[in-house]
Amino acid sequence: MMPNPILTHNAHLLCAASGLNGLGWVLSEQGVIRALGHGEAPADLLAQPDLAKVDGRGHHLIPGLVDALTLAWPWQVARPPEDAASFLAARQAGGIAVAAIAASPAQPIDDLASLQAALFNLPTNQDAHSPATPLLINLTKGGGGQQLAELHRLLDAVPSGHIAGVADLSANAASLGLLQRAWMQAGALGLTVHHLPLEASLAAGTEAIAGEMATRLGLAGLWPAAEAVTLARDFALLAAVLPTVPRLRYHAALVTTAGGVAAVRAAKAQGLPVTAATAPPYFLLNDLALSGKNVGNNGSDFDSAAKLFPPLASEGDRLAVVAGLADGTIDVIVSAHQPVSLDDKRQPFGLAAVGISALETVLPLSLSLHHQHGLPLPTLLAKLTDAPARLLGLNRGRLQIGCPADYRLLDLHRGWQIQAARLHSRCQSTPFEGALVQGVLVG
Amino acid sequence: MHAKIPPLPNLLDCADLTPQLVASLFDRAQHWLGSWGQPLADSETSKQPTVRPRPLERPLAGLVQHNLFFENSTRTSVSFDQAGKLLGSSVSAVNMAASSLSKGESLYDTLMTLAAMRPQLVVIRHAASGAAAFAAQHLPDVALINAGDGRHGHPTQALLDAFTIQQNKGALTNLSIAIVGDILHSRVARSNLYLLQMLGAQVRLVAPPQLLPAGVEQLGASVHHDLASGLADVDVVMVLRMQEERMGGSFIASRADYFAGYVLTHQRLAVAKPDAIVMHPGPFLRDVDIASELADDPARSVILAQVEHGVAIRMAVLERCALSREWIAP
């Protein structure tokens, strides 16, 4: 954060929320945007001799990204696959200003001790009004779906903004009865429910999407309809409880299949308060990546870097996710960064941990939607900035006077190659090893 | 005249094989068959013991072979052990299920530790699909032979099955072969599906729908949910074991219920060709996957021949891998 005033000019300002899309300038001071505009910077600013100036010629100036889903727990004590320093370095390298951390079965945030551990071991959360690492806390104890979490006590314990929603992101284990009560509770408190739409009994023990690839490799397959079936149930429940708790909001944390995209599209058409997210593997890869032959890995079958949850689906599913991003069915792109240790990935596929280092690749991989599929840049950028900020209830991800000056300069066209060994994150497992991408942050 | 036989540095998967390689392996298996054990009476022609040649050659003498069984096994483990010893290799057979992995060591570290003892041949069985490919990736200088990885592959079983069919039926071209039972959890089914089709046979899979993996039709098999249609006019019936230990949830109502629908009996076999043979990779469950009297019927069952052929096939595979690595002279 630069305390002194700084003028960035001659850059292409890009912000869907503010309607900015053209040459312009931004003046910031004390880490806050003080003034901005289209066109040339005002002559009086340019004339100030001791005002620091950055010439953004040839570059886009974009808001800092808001990542609505990471599964990193950098406060773990014993040899975490990501520590606070590497987490922050990776975020900075990836252009991510705000990254939500979600509770998980391995690291629940369901009582005061776990909440405080999460909050106060992260240096970025010292600013009480604008936390850079908001939390998605458990809806049920341990995410186990057996008992309600103490949401009132947890909300009372921290300033508003630190808790950005509730999420049980294991394949959701709750019975329908408990889910109904938990959602009513969350809705009454104005909390958005982030749900991974995979019913636990369908997802348990699976290693890949069911289909020819999983069958050929002998991997336990997840029924491809599991996501759509779970969403259909979730939306029926949502519609039924909404009259009682009209503030309830539902967010599908990761949508990965054609059936899932269609279900979200139908729910939105029905007028339900629903948002949905996906992550780059689901719009760039399909289950052929398990063979490691997609992006020039070692070329052998069983590439554990491609072991993700939800699992990579078929090419038809991938194309449906791209279409869902283009038509607005999918609102948000998340990194779904889930760091794991080398030991946990260096295993036969069936035993390897699910996870991916994604903070540093989410922006360039997403830009391929623009470069290769022609998605308009403002639309794409909104899914990485404004939409996730709204989802998390934060005044971030915009170029606006009074907002944090977390903007970055982007060279949209410059190419580079993703190399896991050069990532700042301690987790260096990515199914995109060797992939060529465009888009480099230059400031 | 002899075309060059493609190399076989590892055998991880039936996709490592070609029809030409299979033919050469069968030739060598035929060569080794009968080269060990007590002389047996020729059952038809005379009661006199047939003298069998003893193996004078020990082509793998001086090579070190580790058999790493991370999953319990009797027949495959003993079969590889015997095959290696007959060929003269120095075999260490380790039941890893009771060893360091249970002490928390990762597979990677166990492999690295054993690799430091410099084996040339490593036979691996593991409960995780992809374990053999994983081992091969980390031990590039070792000839790796997959003795079964999860649900993925069991290539020497497929080879010994195809060899047994060839011994009984001649060439596999245009034979109709039904694989019956728990296809979902079966590495034997996957490897056989690949190899039998490569050798020209037509394969049918016969199982209740919940025991068939998704997309299996795309691998070339025709699928049947009942024995009556699945066994009609087939030349060979391969029965699989019900792998209850891999069934976390409820896949079948009960053994008795499965018996009612799918157990193979003489009566159900009547729709097959009159000379159809019955196979089972073992261990078989009498009166669950195969009727006891059918398993014991010498006119139909070739189950014990499969076991004997297994040793000969594994000798051929060990020898071929060592040749391909140029550790022994042709």
The 10s digit of each residue's pLDDT in A260-292 is 999 999 999 999 999 999 999 999 999 999 886
DSSP E strand stretches across A16-58: 20-29, 32-38, 52-55
Rounded Cα distance between A310 and A303, Å, is 16
Better-scored residue on pLDDT, B323 or B94:
B323
CB A36 within 8 A of CB A27: yes
Q: Does B134 touch chain A (CB under 8 A)?
A: yes
Lowest-pLDDT range, A120-124, A218-222, B65-69? A120-124
Under DSSP, the state recorded for B200 is: T
Cα separations in angstroms, B74 against B77, B80, B255: 5, 10, 23
* Token pair for A363: 């922006």
**Percentage of chain B exceeding pLDDT 70:** 91
> Rounded distance, CA A254 to CA A233, Å?
16
A395-417 pLDDT per residue, tens: 899 999 999 999 999 999 999 99
Q: Among A201, A215, A349, whose Cβ lies nearest the Cβ of B214?
A: A215
Preferred mutation among B152, B205, B247 to probe A, highest tally of A CBs within 10 A: B152
Q: Does the pLDDT of residue A296 top 50, yes or no?
A: no
Whole-complex ipTM: 0.89
Residues of chain A in contact with residue B152, where contact means CB-CB under 8 angstroms, are: 217-219
- State the virtual CA torsion across B45, B48, B49, B52 in degrees, nearest 10: -60
Distance from CA of A219 to the nearest CA of B (A): 6
Which token pair is A58? 């040839």
For residue A322, name the pLDDT band (cuts at 50, 70, 90): very high
Containing H/E element for A7? Answer: strand A6-15
Q: Is the pLDDT of residue A323 over 60?
A: yes
Query: Is B218 in Cβ contact with A214 (below 8 Å)?
Result: no
Between chains, do B137 and A346 touch, taking CB under 8 Å as contact?
A: no
Residues of B in contact with A342 (CB under 8 A): none
According to the model, what pLDDT value does residue A297 have? 43
pLDDT tens string B57-76: 899 999 999 999 999 888 99
Three-class SS state of A341? coil
pLDDT digits (tens, 9 = 90+) for B212-230: 999 899 999 999 999 999 9
Of the residues B151, B184, B223, B247, the best mutation for testing chain A's interface (the one with the most A CB atoms within 10 Å of its CB) is B151
Task: Provide mean pLDDT across the span A157-183.
Answer: 83
Q: Which domains does chain A have, with CATH numbers?
A: 6-58 (no CATH), 63-398 (3.20.20.140)
Instruction: List the Cα angle A339/A345/A351 in 5-degree steps.
Output: 120
pLDDT tens, B231-260? 999 999 999 988 877 776 678 888 888 888
The CA distance from A203 to the nearest CA of chain B, in Å, is: 12
Q: What is the DSSP letter of A258?
A: H
Contact A300/B153, CB-based, under 8 Å?
no
Q: Which residues of chain A are at the B interface, by a Cβ-Cβ cutoff of 8 Å? A: 201, 204-205, 207, 210-221, 223-224, 298, 300-302, 343, 346-351
Whether B154 has its CB under 8 Å from any CB of chain A: the answer is no
Using a CB-CB cut-off of 8 Å, the residues of chain B touching A257 are: none
Chain A: residue whose CA lies nearest to B153: A218
Tokens at B140, concatenated = 């590039």
Burial (CB count <10 Å: 0-12, 13-18, 19+), residue A28: buried
Q: Which two tokens stand for residue A28?
A: 């910031």
Does residue B130 register a pLDDT over 80? yes
Length of chain B: 330
Q: Please check whether residue B215 touches A, CB under 8 A.
A: yes
CB within 8 Å: A348 and B215: no
- Dihedral angle sign, alpha carbons of residues B245, B249, B252, B253: positive
Q: A361 is written with which tokens?
A: 């690749």
Burial of A268 (C-beta count, 10 Å sphere; 0-12/13-18/19+): middle
Sign of CA dihedral B55, B59, B65, B69: negative
| Spacing of C-alpha B219 from chain mean position | 19
Residue A236: count of CB within 10 angstroms of its CB:
11
Whether chain A has a CB inside 8 Å of the CB on B70: the answer is no
Mean pLDDT value of segment A21-31: 94
Per the DSSP assignment, residues forming a β-bridge with A148 are A140
Distance of CA A171 to the CA centre of its chain: 17
Contact present, B115 and B124 (Cβ < 8 Å): no
Are the C-beta atoms of A303 and A289 separated by less than 8 Å? yes
Weakest mean pLDDT among A62-66, A200-204, A297-301, A424-428: A297-301
| Whether residue A102 has pLDDT greater than 70 | yes
Least confident range of A174-188, B46-60, B173-187, B309-323: B46-60
**Angle A259-A386-A9 from CA coordinates, rounded to 5°:** 140
- Chain A residue numbers touching B213 (CB-CB < 8 A): 210, 214-215, 221
Give the distance from residue A290's alpha carbon to the nearest chain B alpha carbon, in angstroms: 11
DSSP A111-169: SHHHHHHHHHT-GGGGSTTS-SS-EEE-SBGGG-SSSB--HHHHHHHS-TTSEEEEEE-
Tokens for A286? 């399909």
Q: How far apart are CA A9 and CA A56, in angstroms?
A: 6
